[in-house]
A and B are shown apart, each in its own frame.
Chain A
Amino acid sequence: MLSLYVPGASPVHRAPAGLKLAVLAVLGVGLFATGRLDLVATALLLVLATGLLWARLPFRALTAQVRPVWIWLAALFGFHLLVTGPLVGAVAVLRLLTLVVAAAVVTATTRVTALVAVIEWLTSPLRVFGVRPARIGLVIAMTLRFIPLVADRAARIREAQAARGADRVRLAMVVPLLVQVLRMATTVGEALDARGAGDVPGRRPRRRAAAENLGTT
């Protein structure tokens, strides 16, 4: 999600973000509604075919998302071997694997702004309670933007501490990191003001891109 978008012009790339998220949601419900191994395995094959053949994504774009969860999938299968049996374990593992790969296909074929536009649309009914969907979207986008930045700052602090012989004291990095993040937050706040973030009207002007992503035009 942080840097997973793979530019392309495939039908999957061009499909509205709202439709892709809806399909993902339906797939999730469907996978947990069935306990049949053949159906779950078929779903995985279809998702792989969608990603590799239809969206023409590189194989590593999908495996990169699966790699961090392999250990948990293996643990889950081991747990089921001990408690319920190999068939139930295989279904459980394939369900999660299918969902992870499907989510990877969605994020690799959808720009963050398109996903944020969908979230803004989904939260738009909250306007009656004074919530500003545009702000929610901005918060999500900024979260995605600043996670790697904060991680980078943390790595620099670790290096600085290691250079002075404190390479095993992880807690000692919390305070300087917090200070740096708070200082950066002040500047980011100024930058948001300077770039007109406070000017966003309660109801955004209709955007062609957002509308297209929601499939409403």
Chain B
Amino acid sequence: MRRGRRADAAAAAAIVPRTAIEVHDVAHFYGDRPVLTDVSLTLTERRIGVIGANGSGKSTFARLLNGLVIPAEGSVLVDGLDTRTQGREVRRRVGFVFQDPDAQIVHPTVEEDMAFGPHNQGVAAEETARRVEEMLVRYGLAGHRDHPAHLLSGGQKQLLAIAGVLVMRPQRIVFDEPTTLLDLANTRRVSRVIDALEQDAVVVTHHLDLLDGFDRVLVFEDGRVVADGSPGETVPWYVARMG
């Protein structure tokens, strides 16, 4: 079932432009404390997982990929666009889903919040309405369109956050621990949503099950990439290393 959805998503992905993200000699600091050191990668795979202990630099790395964080040293290029100088264009290509959907939902009701991104992009009202309707139906939120966002369940809020990004039609989506605050049922639901995405995805997570079938997994430790390979190679290595 899971593989079938992924196969469908892979077929659908043919119509979504792919992205290539190049990370060149990146280092970053919070004050004097280094959080990323000497990171150089090229990300072209459809599904990339990022794992590591708390404070290992995963979330900072994720924020580099759409220009939310500009590296202190080095550069990040998305399809050749430099996040330092072309952040707006980069963010149109790379969407970002935060760990806490409450921080990402900025409008009082579901439908209004979903329309926020396209409106910022200057998408016409009719097209915005069409996209929002599609997302409301796809994620089972159509019955909640006028509901206050703060009254949604945790799972519904995360779906709204994801839909609020998808409606902007990015080519790649970065998820920063999207299931950390969710129960098992909602974790599985979000996992299925990520599986079915047409877009490329980078997923930072502590839930290793989420990485089943991913193309590549990066393991971070003390701001460095200490393992880089398939889930079959990296996840057991990481689990053993964590003791």
Tell me if B49 is interfacial: C-beta within 8 Å of chain A.
no
Cross-chain contact B120 with A195 (CB below 8 angstroms): yes
Q: A5-B146, A145-B150, A200-B120 are in contact. List 4 more A-B contacts (CB 8 A).
A: A138-B106, A149-B102, A201-B122, A209-B125
Contact with B along A178-193 (1 / 0, CB 8 A): 0000001001101111
A29 at the binding interface (Cβ < 8 Å): no
**Residue in chain B with minimal CB distance to A148:** B150
CB of B24 within 8 Å of the partner chain: no
Question: Separation in Å of the B178 CB from the closest CB of chain A?
Answer: 14
A to B contact number (C-beta, < 8 Å): 106
Q: By the criterion CB–CB under 8 Å, are A187 and B66 in contact?
A: no
Residues of A within 8 A of B164 (CB): 195
Q: How far is the CA of A141 from the CA of B147 in the complex (A)?
A: 14
A124, CB-defined interface residue at 8 Å? no
Q: Is the interface of A mostly helix, strand, loop or mixed?
A: helix
Question: Does the CB pair B117–A191 fall under 8 Å?
Answer: no
Whether B109 contacts A5 by the Cβ 8 Å rule is yes
Within 166-217 of A, Cβ neighbours of B (below 8 Å) are at 184, 187-188, 190-201, 204-205, 207-209
| Also in contact, A141 and B150, with CB within 8 A (given A196-B120, A208-B125) | no
State whether A112 touches B103 (Cβ < 8 A). no
Q: How far is the CB of A43 from chain B (nearest CB, A)?
A: 29
Interface string of A149-166 (1 = CB under 8 A from B): 100100000000000000
Task: List A contacts of B102 (CB < 8 A).
Answer: 149, 184
- Chain A residue numbers with a CB within 8 Å of B103 are 184, 187-188, 191
Question: In the bound complex, do residue B108 and residue A112 qualify as a contact, i.e. CB atoms below 8 Å apart?
Answer: yes
Nearest chain A CB to B220 CB, angstrom units: 20
Closest residue to B100 on the A side, CB-wise? A187
Per-residue 0/1 for B125-159: is the Cβ within 8 Å of any A Cβ (1 yes, 0 no)? 11001000000000000000011111100000000
Contact-size category for A: 35 or more
Number of interface residues of B (CB under 8 A): 41
Q: Which interface residue of B87, B98, B108, B168 has the most chain A CB atoms within 10 A? A: B108
Q: A3-B151, A148-B148, A191-B98 are in contact. Are A142 and B106 (CB under 8 A)?
A: yes
Q: Contact at B121–A196, with CB atoms within 8 Å?
A: yes
A209: chain B residues within 8 A (beta carbon):
125, 129
Contact A195 B106 (CB under 8 A): yes
Closest-by-CB residue of A relative to B164 is A195
A interface residues, Cβ below 8 angstroms from B: 2-3, 5, 7, 111-113, 138, 141-142, 144-145, 148-149, 152, 184, 187-188, 190-201, 204-205, 207-209
Does B104 lie at the interface of the complex (its beta carbon under 8 Å from any beta carbon of A)? yes
CA distance A191 to B106 in the complex (A): 9
Min C-beta distance of A206 to chain B, whole Å: 8
A163: min CB distance to chain B, Å: 20
| Distance between Cα atoms of A196 and B92 in the complex (Å) | 8
Tell me, yes or no, whether B88 is within 8 Å of chain A by CB: yes
CA distance A123 to B227 in the complex (A): 54
Q: Cβ of B204 < 8 Å from any Cβ of A?
A: no
Q: How far is the CB of B143 from chain A (nearest CB, A)?
A: 11
Task: Pull 12 A–B residue pairs with CB atoms less than 8 Å apart, ordered by A.
Answer: A112-B107, A113-B107, A141-B108, A148-B148, A148-B150, A152-B150, A184-B102, A190-B98, A191-B98, A192-B106, A193-B68, A196-B117
